[in-house]
Amino acid sequence: SQRLKGKTILITGASSGIGKATALEFARTSPEDLKLILTARRIDTLKEIAAEIEGFAKGVKVLPVKLDVSNPKEVAGLVDGLPAEFKEVDVLVNNAGLVKGVAQAPSIAAEDIDVMFATNVTGLINVTQAILPIFKNRPDGGRGDIINIGSIAGREPYQGGSIYCATKAAVRSFTDALRRELIASRIRVIEIDPGQVETEFSVVRFYGDKDKAKKVYEGVEPLTPDDIAEVVVFTAGRRENVVIADTLIFPNHQAAATVMHRKT
C-alpha cells in the first residue's frame, strides 16, 4: 500500500516462519521506500533474508539486528543501538514466540515454563515498552502501530498446551489493556491470532524432532506463513482511522484449537 511508503517497520522473530514471511510481504507490497528492522537471535539467517529482500526490492533498506527478546538487557539497549535513520519506528510487529513440549502438570519442565513466559509474554511486553516512547512522542498523543501475534491458543486452552496457552492469553490481555490505555492517542493496538500454520513452530515444540513435527500436519492443510503475512501487511496498510483490532485466522478445515478435519 502507498500508505506504507517511508515507514520504518520493526519485526521480532524475523528469522523464520511468520516473521520472515511478514518481512518479505512488506517488501513486496511497498518496494519503493521502506525501512525494515529485522530482529531475532539467528543473526546470520537475518543477514541472508536482508540480502534476499534487497535483491528484489531496491528501495527497501534492511537492518538485521541480533535481539533475544527474552533478555531484558538486550531489549533495553535496542533503541539506543539503532542507527539514526532507523530510529523513527512506525510499526512494531511483536511476532517472536515459541512453544516447548506437550507435557501436562505436574510434569512440565521448569525451564520450558520460564522460556515460554520470558519470550512470549515478558519479551513482548519489554519490546513494546522500549518502542512505545517513540510512538508517544508524536503529535495527537502519539502515532504508530503495535501488531501483536497472538494465537487461537490464547482464546482456547487445550491439554498439553497449558503454559503456551497461558502465555498467549496473557498477550491478549496485555493487548486489550494497552488499547484502552492509549485511547487518547492515534496509536493502533492490534492483535492477529493464527490457527494452525506450518513453520518451525512444531519443530521447536518437539525439541528439534522433525518427524514428530511433521505428524502434526499429516492429513490437514495448514496455513502458510504467507497467509498470515498478508493479513499483517493489509492491517498495517489501512487508513490511520481504521483499526483492525482483533483477527482470528483458520485454515479451512480448522474450527477451534483442537477441532480439525483430518483426511485419513
Q: If binding is defined by CB under 6 A, does position 16 make contact with ligand 8X3?
A: no
Q: Check: CB of residue 93 under 8 Å from CB of residue 19.
A: yes
Choose, by CB under 6 A, the member of 48, 52, 54, 68 that binds ligand NDP.
68
Closer of 196 and 235 to ligand 8X3 (Cβ): 196
To 10 degrees, what angle do helices 124-136 and 162-181 make?
10
According to DSSP, the β-strands at 60-66 and 91-94 are unpaired
According to DSSP, the β-strands at 259-260 and 254-256 are antiparallel
Q: If binding is defined by CB under 6 A, does position 151 make contact with ligand 8X3?
A: yes
- Give the number of other CB atoms < 10 A from CB of residue 207: 11
Among this protein's residues, is 100 annotated catalytic?
no
Q: What CA–CA distances, in Å, run from 18 to 96, 100, 216?
A: 9, 18, 18
Q: If binding is defined by CB under 6 A, does position 69 make contact with ligand NDP?
A: yes
Closer of 15 and 196 to ligand 8X3 (Cβ): 196
Q: If binding is defined by CB under 6 A, does position 95 make contact with ligand NDP?
A: yes
Closer of 78 and 152 to ligand 8X3 (Cβ): 152
Choose, by CB under 6 A, the member of 64, 161, 225, 251 that binds ligand 8X3.
161
Applying CB under 6 A, the site for ligand 8X3 has a residue count of 7
CA gap 127, 43 in Å, rounded: 18
Question: Residue 101's binding partner, choosing from ligand 8X3, ligand NDP, none, with beta-carbon cut-off 5 to 8 A by kind?
Answer: none
Q: If binding is defined by CB under 6 A, does position 101 make contact with ligand NDP?
A: no
Cα-Cα-Cα-Cα dihedral sign, residues 35, 54, 202, 105 = negative
**Catalytic center residues:** 164, 168
Binding footprint of ligand 8X3 on the chain (CB under 6 A): 151-153, 161, 164, 196, 257
